[in-house]
């Protein structure tokens, strides 16, 4: 037998079964039970403090709520499929346990402000978990960058070999991006951390409530100043989901490089067996599935953001049931981001960088051509003129099947008298990389500075 609805008094007929299932959010909003209960406790305490409910009844309510929380935590209380949502479920259970006092809890409150509080509390906690997971990844990437500081590799533009770099420099680039992801999430939490509780259905209440008191009990930085805004907006969800989308974009680019680097064509890295899979038919295969999945899952995190933006677009103020759709989208993004980070950090920590292969790759592709032009420019030739000459030398080398490092000096001299024996030293891969000591440059010493910077930033988190 289905439970009688709270609003049954107003209706002649029960809700159709399929409509009831369609309407219910319990199966996914039940994960906010702890936040719902804590929000109710703060609300009840406020009602007692303001003399809206007698202390004795509020004591009963708080005891009852504590019992429910304990029982759910211990797996002794299952979520009843008949309740419309977690808010109704907890209230009905409370009333079942303590009787009439349970029916008073909803004084000066509505599910509209209740749900808005619950999501903020839930996301505030979860955002912190995501931040610490990103911090672990940043640590893994930074350690790997430090370890690879002296490894010479080609740096690319257009996926064409461009200039030689320390391999650690490329890894450190991702650490910087991820640090910004942390800061974006923290910013979103700052704006999220205001309490809508006491906004009630949309218009506040005639009871003498103390919203600031409840807000403070729940660890909010203050209250949402407009009751309609308090129950209507989900911009804080959008912000967090945008931050997640940017994070996934970074992880996806990193994944793409992991996939490329572990291919036979590159072989710059080897992923650990525990983060790769084999093929069901090709015995030689070792596939970078984790990186591919992260790249693939980026799509759903973008999609969830778009879904919520679209749901909110065009909604009149204040609460509309459409807004119940916020939860599955944001929960899915949250779960996805957490799962991705949990495999990404150890995948990076355990990967091996093959310095011989990165070095060999850097030897090809005239990667030191800019440095040869710089050589002439440093001897007084305008850079544009030097650039043109080096272009001609590269063309000659290609024709003669040579590289800049073994093109004879007498040939060089045909292009400019400025060329001397020291050019070979100046364009060696070691010199090219080691001398890129400009701030934020690709030299091993710069990588070490960057690593130190990231480590300091991590301490502030």
Active site members: 158, 279
Residue 333 near residue 305, CB atoms below 8 Å: yes
Q: Tokens representing 277?
A: 């899979």
According to DSSP, residue 82 is labeled T
Segment near ligand ARG (CB under 6 A), from 33-41, 73-81, 109-117, 436-444?
109-117
Which of helix, strand or coil describes residue 175?
helix
Nearest to ligand ARG of 134, 307 (CB atom)? 307
d(CA 276, CA 290): 7
In 3D space, the residue among 102, 99, 129 whose CA is nearest the CA of residue 37 turns out to be: 102
Contacts of 358 (CB under 8 A, 6+ apart): 151, 152, 153, 154, 167, 268
Segment near ligand ARG (CB under 6 A), from 204-212, 315-323, 333-341, 448-456?
315-323
**Residue choice 324, 336, 368, 434 for contact with ligand ARG (CB under 6 A):** 324
Nearest to ligand ARG of 185, 323 (CB atom)? 323
Residues within window 77-106 making contact with ligand ARG, judged by CB under 6 A? 85
DSSP states of 46-75: HHHHTTSS-HHHHHHHHHHHHHHHHHHHTT
d(CA 118, CA 39): 7
- 330 touches ligand ARG by CB under 6 A: no
- 115 touches ligand ARG by CB under 6 A: yes
Nearest to ligand ARG of 112, 434 (CB atom)? 112
d(CA 185, CA 338): 13
Kindly report whether the peptide bond that precedes residue 396 is cis, defined as omega within 30 degrees of 0. Answer: no
**Residue choice 319, 331, 344, 407 for contact with ligand ARG (CB under 6 A):** 319
Which runs of consecutive H residues, i.e. helices, occur in 86-153? Answer: 86-98, 100-104, 111-147
Nearest to ligand ARG of 22, 264 (CB atom)? 22
- 25 touches ligand ARG by CB under 6 A: yes
- 111 touches ligand ARG by CB under 6 A: yes
Nearest to ligand ARG of 30, 173 (CB atom)? 30
**Residue choice 112, 199, 298, 304 for contact with ligand ARG (CB under 6 A):** 112
**Residue choice 149, 323, 340, 362 for contact with ligand ARG (CB under 6 A):** 323
d(CA 271, CA 286): 9
Residues within window 164-203 making contact with ligand ARG, judged by CB under 6 A? none
Nearest to ligand ARG of 126, 374 (CB atom)? 126
| Minimum separation from the CB atom of position 137 to ligand ARG (A) | 32
Compute CA 158 distance to the chain's CA centroid, rounded to the nearest angstrom: 26
Nearest to ligand ARG of 270, 325 (CB atom)? 325
| Minimum separation from the CB atom of position 178 to ligand ARG (A) | 32
- 237 touches ligand ARG by CB under 6 A: no
| Minimum separation from the CB atom of position 129 to ligand ARG (A) | 22
In 3D space, the residue among 30, 22, 120, 5 whose CA is nearest the CA of residue 321 turns out to be: 22
Q: How many residues does the chain have?
A: 461
Residue labelled with tokens 């100043």: 225
Nearest to ligand ARG of 120, 139 (CB atom)? 120
Residue 204 near residue 113, CB atoms below 8 Å: no
In 3D space, the residue among 359, 368, 360 whose CA is nearest the CA of residue 431 turns out to be: 368
> How many binding residues for ligand ARG (CB under 6 A)?
10
- 236 touches ligand ARG by CB under 6 A: no
| Minimum separation from the CB atom of position 276 to ligand ARG (A) | 41
Residue labelled with tokens 């891969």: 429
Kindly report whether the peptide bond that precedes residue 318 is cis, defined as omega within 30 degrees of 0. Answer: yes
| Minimum separation from the CB atom of position 87 to ligand ARG (A) | 6
Compose the 130-169 pattern: x for residues touching ligand ARG by CB under 6 A, - for all others.
Answer: ----------------------------------------
| Minimum separation from the CB atom of position 88 to ligand ARG (A) | 8
Tell me which residues touch ligand ARG (CB under 6 A).
Answer: 25, 29, 85, 111-112, 115, 319, 321, 323-324
């Amino acid at each position: 037998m289905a439970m009688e609805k709270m609003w049954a008094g107003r209706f002649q007929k029960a809700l159709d079964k399929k409509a009831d299932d369609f309407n219910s959010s319990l199966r996914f909003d039940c994960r906010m039970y702890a936040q719902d209960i804590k929000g109710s406790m703060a609300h009840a305490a406020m009602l007692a403090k303001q003399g809206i409910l007698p202390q004795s009844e509020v004591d009963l309510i708080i005891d009852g709520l504590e019992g429910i929380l304990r029982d759910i935590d211990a797996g002794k209380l299952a979520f009843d499929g008949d309740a419309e949502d977690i808010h109704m479920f907890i209230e009905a259970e409370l009333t079942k346990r303590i009787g009439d006092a349970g029916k008073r809890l909803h004084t000066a409150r509505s599910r509209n402000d209740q749900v808005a509080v619950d999501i903020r509390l839930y996301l505030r906690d979860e955002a912190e978990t995501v931040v610490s997971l990103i911090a672990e990844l940043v640590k893994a990437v930074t350690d790997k960058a430090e370890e690879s500081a002296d490894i010479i590799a080609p740096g690319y533009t257009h996926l064409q070999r461009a200039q030689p770099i320390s391999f650690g420099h490329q890894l450190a680039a991702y650490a910087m991006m991820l640090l910004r992801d942390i800061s974006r999430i923290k910013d979103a939490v700052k704006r999220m951390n205001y309490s809508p509780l006491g906004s009630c259905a949309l218009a506040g209440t005639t009871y003498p409530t103390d919203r600031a008191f409840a807000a403070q009990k729940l660890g909010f930085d203050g209250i949402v100043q407009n009751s309609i805004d308090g129950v209507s907006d989900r911009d804080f969800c959008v912000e967090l989901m945008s931050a997640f989308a940017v994070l996934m974009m970074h992880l996806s680019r990193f994944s793409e490089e992991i996939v490329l680097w572990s291919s036979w064509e590159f072989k710059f890295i080897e992923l650990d067996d525990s983060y790769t899979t084999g093929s069901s038919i090709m015995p030689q295969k070792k596939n970078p599935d984790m990186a591919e999945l992260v790249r693939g899952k980026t799509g759903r995190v973008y999609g969830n953001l778009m879904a919520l933006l679209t749901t909110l677009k065009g909604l009149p103020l204040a609460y509309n049931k459409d807004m119940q759709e916020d939860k599955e989208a944001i929960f899915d993004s949250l779960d996805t981001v957490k799962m991705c980070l949990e495999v990404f950090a150890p995948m990076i920590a355990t990967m091996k960088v093959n310095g011989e292969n990165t070095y060999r790759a850097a030897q090809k592709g005239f990667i030191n051509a800019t440095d040869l032009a710089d050589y002439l420019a440093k001897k007084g030739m305008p850079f544009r003129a030097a650039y043109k000459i080096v272009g001609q030398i590269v063309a000659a080398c290609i024709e003669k099947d040579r590289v800049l490092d073994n093109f004879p000096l007498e040939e060089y001299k045909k292009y400019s008298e400025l060329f001397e024996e020291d050019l070979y030293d100046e364009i060696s891969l070691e010199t090219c990389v080691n001398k890129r000591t400009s701030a934020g440059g690709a030299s091993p010493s710069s990588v070490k500075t960057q690593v130190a910077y990231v480590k300091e930033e991590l301490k502030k988190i």
